[in-house]
Structure 1
C-alpha cells in the first residue's frame, strides 16, 4: 500500500472538490438529452379539455391543457397552453384535470396548472413536474422538449437514449 502525505491528500481533495463544483462539470452530469416530441396542434385544442400523452418516454404519463388564461411557462398566442407529468409527487398516483386544477385520485393533493403546477392542498410537498413546450406559429404544432422537476419515482427523467423527431 502506498503512503500518501497529509499535504498530498489535502491538496488532492481540494483539487477534486474544485473540479466537482465547476459549473461545466455539474451541467454535464445533470443535463439530460430530452427528446423533441410533437404533442398536439393548436387547432385541435379546446379550453379545459386535456390531451394525454407520454413524455419523455412511454412510461411517463403527461397531460397538456389549454387553460383559457395566461400561465407560467404557457405557450401559444395566449400563453395558456401548459403540460405536466400526471403522476402525483406524493406517491405517484394519477392526477386528473378538473375545474382548473389537477387533483390526485389517492390523497386529494391539488396542483395549480396556471402557477407551474404549484401544490396548494394535500400531502404532496413538491410541484408537478412541468413539461417544457415549444409552439411553432407557422404550423400550430406544439412540441415537448424537456421537463422542469423530477418525475415521481425516478432519479433521472430520461431513462435511456431516445430518438428525437425532426422539424
Structure 2
C-alpha cells in the first residue's frame, strides 16, 4: 500500500488538532491501563482558600497536597474549578515541596511551581511540573483522588 504525502500531512494535522483541542487528553496525560485506587482526601466543606491538606496517594510512600486556590486552575474541580492536588515530590531530586504564598516551593533547590497552571515549573532546577492528582467530588462534598497524571519522582511506575 502506497501512502501519499498529502495523506500523511492530513493525518498529522488531525492528530495535532486533536491534541491542541483536548480530544483524547486522558491518553496523553496518564496510562489509562493503570488501575489507581480511589481514596478520600477531604471534603469541600472543610477546605479554606490557600490552606493545604496533605495526604498519601497513590500509596503510603507518596505524599500529595490538596489545595483550594480561590481561582480557577487547569484540572481543577469543584464549583469554581479551583481545587487541585499534586504529588509533593519535587521533580528535580524528590525533595518534599510545600505550598506557601500561592505556589509550591521546593526548599532544597528553590524550584517553584504554579498550581493554577498544572504545577508548571517557573523557577529553579526542576525541569518538569509536578504530577497532578486527578480528583473527583461526590454529591456530599467528599473529594477523592482517582489517578496521577505523570510519573512521581524516583519511580519507574506510580503503582
Q: Above 0.5 in TM-score? A: yes
1:84-123 Cα deviation digits (max 9, x unpaired)? 0000000000100011100001000000000001000000
Q: Which residue of 2 aligns with 1:144?
A: 145
Where in structure 2 are there 5+ consecutive unaligned residues? 1-30
Tell me the TM-score normalized by structure 2. 0.79
Whole-angstrom distance in 2 between the partners of 1:86 and 1:132: 14
Tell me the TM-score normalized by structure 1. 0.76
Q: Which residue of 1 aligns with 2:27?
A: none
Q: Which residue of 2 aligns with 1:113?
A: 115
Where in structure 1 are there 5+ consecutive unaligned residues? 1-29, 159-167
1:26-81 Cα deviation digits (max 9, x unpaired)? xxxx5211000011010100000000000000000010000000000000111000
The size of the alignment, in residue pairs, is 129
Within a 5 Å distance, the mapping from 1:83-102 to structure 2 comes to 83-102=85-104
Structure 1 segments of 4 or more deviating over 2 A?
Answer: none
Which one has the largest radius of gyration? 1
SS in 1 for 2:116: helix
Within a 5 Å distance, the mapping from 1:130-141 to structure 2 comes to 130-136=132-138, 138-141=139-142
SS in 2 for 1:114: helix
Q: Which residue of 1 aligns with 2:4?
A: none
SS in 1 for 2:121: strand
Q: Which residue of 2 aligns with 1:23?
A: none
Whole-angstrom distance in 2 between the partners of 1:149 and 1:111: 15
